[in-house]
Each structure stands twice: as C-alpha cells, then as structure tokens.
Amino acid sequence: MKALITGVGGQDGSYLAELLLDKGYQVHGIVRRSSSLNTARIDHIFNDLHLHFGDLTDATSINTLLSQVKFDQIYHLAAMSHVRVSFDIPHFTTDVGALGTLRLLEAVRAHCPDARVYNASSSEMFGKVQEVPQKETTVFYPRSPYGCAKVFAHQICVNYREAYGMHVSNGILFNHESPRRGETFVTRKIVKAAVRIKRGLQKELALGNLSARRDWGYAREYVEAMWLMLQQPTPDDFVIATGETHTVRELLDVAFDYVNLSWKNFVTEDPRYYRPTEVDILQGDASKAKRVLGWEPKTTFVELVQLMMEAELGATE
C-alpha cells in the first residue's frame, strides 16, 4: 500500500507516518522547500520515508507527484494551523487551508480517483458553538480565518465525495497534543515554560484567555482514527474527541504542580494574546467514531499533560 501524507513533518504527520510504517505501508510525504529543512519530528524515520518537495499553493507540484505515483491512500494534514496567527496572515491561511485542499482534490480526481482520502477538519469550525457537545451534525460557526478555511475544505470534500463518488472522509479532530506539539501552541508553551521556570531559565509567562475550555486528547491516539476512517467501505465524517473539557487554568495547575510550583506566581493574562473573536468552549461527541470505527481515547487529560512534562524535562536535562 502506498500512502501520501501532506504535512508529514508536523505533529500528526510524524505520528501517522510511524503508524503506517508499522503497518507495512510505503509512506510518502510532501515537504516544503525552505532555507532549513524542518524534519526534526521525522528524523528518526527519515530513511524509511519517500519525501517530495511540493506546496499546496502550487498546483503543478501536486499534480506532478500524483501523476507519477499512484497512491492508495492520501492523508491531507497540511495547513497553516495556528489559529491566532491566522488573523495576521488570513490570505496565506486560506490559500493553503481552503484552496490547497481543492487543488489536492482536483489532482486526486485527475490522477488517482480510486485513492481513499482523509481530510483534516477541525473543531475550530464550530467556533461560536451552537450546541454542547458538538457532533457531526452541529452547525458550523467559525470564528477565525483558520476556522473559515477549514469549513471550506470540509465542505468541498463532502462535495467531491457526492459529486464524483470519491472516497473522501473528514476527521473533525478536537484539540490533540503531544511532546511534538509546536512551541507556540498553548499546551507546549505552558509545559516548556514550567520546566524553564523550574530550572531558573525563565521568570514569567504571558498567556491569553485563561478561561477558554478545550477538549484535549493525545495526538498519537488520534492518528489511529485517521487510519480507521480509510479502512471503512463507505467514506464519512467523524468527530474525534475525548468528550471532556478543561480550562487553560487547569492545564497550568497540572503542569506547574508536576514541578512543585504555583503557576499564579509566574503567569499573567495578557490581552495582546487574545483573539479578535474568541472561542470559549469546544467539546466533542465522538460516539459515532466509537460505534462505527471502534475508536475511543485512552489517555486522560492529566496523563497527557504529565507525559508532555516528562518529555520536556528529559529534553532539557
């Protein structure tokens, strides 16, 4: 089986690549050309992967690759994935997230229409939530350029599935974290700061909305759900979530407690980090995934933060 991962160098891409290699796949990935090759998350499996230079803003590179390799499965994970930053670069966010998905679907339709496609949708599509918890039928109300781009990508995938009979599934993944999460995301930002403050390398941490509630799960488990979606005879859309919510304050509690500190002595809430339009709560209902895919989360919120802390402490020793 030949599989292609867009965003192979990201958190999810690296875990998914490991999973597919373990299952005997020939794994290909698209990486963007830059002055420095950002492959830190996949360096340990670098020689086992088939990497190709390409970019979702460049239709030619995508079409060329898909015309040369007939993929059985395509996992579309690439995006400008930082919600707060999407307000600063909305054009780029939309070009990659929305139109990039369309370019990929067109390439699939032209060159390997029988390939099964997974698209990474997002809980940010729910934004100003219309019901709690959110499930596959909940109305979308995005509150950021990132969320808006994801809604377009999600709906165009549904359209191509219905219009052309393509096997395209959307995974509506709620927040999922790991030691491989980027350092600008709030979970990793907190974990890294807690360790640095404990070691005397940092004095304080400024964050945005501490009251925001999120449904946080473990990324390594969430990529298993992606694979399961493409094993189904019929494509569909699935919410992947824990069903629990926790505030940023609760995350701070667990992280700083792990190193015997009180976060209240070091953390400030800074309006500079607020989003122009906030998302107050995201909570997913993954009962459909459990029923159809047999998937459910295993790692608790506390266990997740603790394993991130343990990894961060080990990395900085």
Contact 202, 214 (CB under 8 A): no
Rounded CA-CA distance 275/43 in Å is: 34
Q: Can you list the positions of beta strands (E) in 156-218?
A: 167-173, 176-177, 205-207, 213-214, 217-218
Contact 123, 241 (CB under 8 A): yes
124 labelled catalytic: yes
**Choice among 86, 121, 122, 178 that is catalytic:** 122
250 labelled catalytic: no
Amino acid residing at 147: G
**Choice among 15, 75, 86, 124 that is catalytic:** 124
**Choice among 146, 218, 222, 258 that is catalytic:** 146
Rounded CA-CA distance 96/147 in Å is: 13
CB burial of 70-85 (b: ≥16 within 10 Å; e: otherwise) equals: ebebbbbbbbbbbbbb
Q: Which residue has the tokens 């030619």?
A: 60
Rounded CA-CA distance 306/211 in Å is: 21
Peptide bond into 142 cis (omega under 30): no
146 labelled catalytic: yes
Q: Which residue has the tokens 């399961």?
A: 228
Write out the catalytic residue numbers: 122, 124, 146
